[in-house]
């Protein structure tokens, strides 16, 4: 079995949501921490009998030589020029354009951002035999109406996605935004975990991952609340109690 870890977005990034500060001296060690966690995940896949390769699509960085050296698995490195995108979504979409060039010899692809640290709990989570599209989780209740982006369409925490070979036809139109559940219409899909988590680990603690370039919350605001898959795409009117509200993700 052969798998690909697709890493995208800004490397050596520093600051809160919306920050474009990169390549600062204090961003070096956090990025190294994230990169080594990517290798630890590949090691876990190797123990499961999977030959892993890595695709990195990021902006040019003055630390490129070091970044490349941290990835011990076969790695394709693609650096792109910076462009003043009007929205974060536009920037993310630009990173996804390379996906249409991915070799279809892989059995699955795991997508995550360059600045994501994959915790040991996550390493055990991925099943290489999955045959559905998996998003990491339903997005947190405080960020969206009861965790739904519209009516009974779940809002996605898009920090990690799993795409099996049977759905590689999605590669030219990959979506790593909260509305991905809508755009992957007609596809069998699910969440990796049964709890709600916000995409920003500064706002919501996550035992599976963290964004390395900002402080990490110690509070999981939806702790103990389980997602209800029977509500997805139903005619039910969703109601819930929200104690905290986040301003975006």
Q: Model confidence over 16-32: pLDDT tens digits?
A: 665 566 778 889 999 99
DSSP-based three-state secondary structure for 64 = helix
Mean pLDDT, the chain, rounded, equals 90
Q: For 196-233, what is each residue's pLDDT tens digit?
A: 999 999 999 999 999 998 999 999 999 999 999 988 98
DSSP-based three-state secondary structure for 101 = helix
Contacts of 167 (CB under 8 A, 6+ apart): 133, 187
d(CA 9, CA 64): 14
Q: For 90-116, what is each residue's pLDDT tens digit?
A: 777 788 889 999 999 999 999 999 999
d(CA 154, CA 231): 9
- 168-191 core/surface letters (b: 16 or more CB in 10 A; e: else): bebbeebbbbbbbbeebeeeebeb
Residue 74 to residues 59, 164, 191, Cα–Cα distance (Å): 20, 20, 28
* For residue 248, pLDDT beyond 50: no
CB 110 within 8 A of CB 160: yes
* Domains (range + CATH), the chain: 2-231 (3.90.550)
d(CA 227, CA 146): 10
Report the pLDDT averaged over residues 177-197: 94
Look at the block and give the residue holding tokens 């009516």.
151
């Amino acid at each position: 079995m052969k798998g690909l870890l697709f890493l995208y977005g800004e490397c050596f990034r520093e600051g809160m949501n919306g920050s474009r500060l990169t390549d600062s001296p204090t961003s070096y060690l956090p990025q190294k921490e994230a990169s080594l966690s990517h290798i630890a995940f590949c090691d876990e896949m190797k123990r499961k009998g999977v030959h892993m390769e890595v695709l990195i699509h990021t902006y040019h960085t003055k630390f490129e030589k070091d970044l490349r050296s941290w990835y011990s698995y076969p790695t394709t490195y693609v650096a792109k020029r910076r462009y003043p995108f009007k929205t974060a979504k536009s920037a993310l979409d630009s990173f996804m354009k390379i996906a249409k060039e991915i070799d279809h010899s892989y059995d699955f692809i795991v997508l995550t951002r360059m600045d994501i640290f994959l915790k040991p709990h996550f390493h055990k989570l991925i099943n290489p035999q999955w045959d559905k599209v998996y998003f990491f989780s339903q997005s947190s209740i405080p960020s969206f109406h009861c965790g739904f982006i519209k009516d009974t369409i779940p809002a996605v925490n898009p920090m990690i996605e799993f795409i099996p070979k049977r759905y590689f036809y999605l590669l030219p139109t990959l979506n790593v935004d909260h509305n991905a559940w809508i755009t992957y219409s007609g596809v069998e899909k699910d969440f990796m975990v049964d709890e709600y988590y916000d995409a920003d680990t500064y706002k919501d603690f996550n035992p599976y991952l963290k964004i390395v370039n900002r402080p990490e919350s110690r509070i999981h605001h939806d702790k103990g609340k389980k997602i209800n898959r029977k509500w997805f795409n139903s005619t039910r009117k969703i109601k819930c109690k929200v104690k905290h509200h986040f301003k975006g993700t």
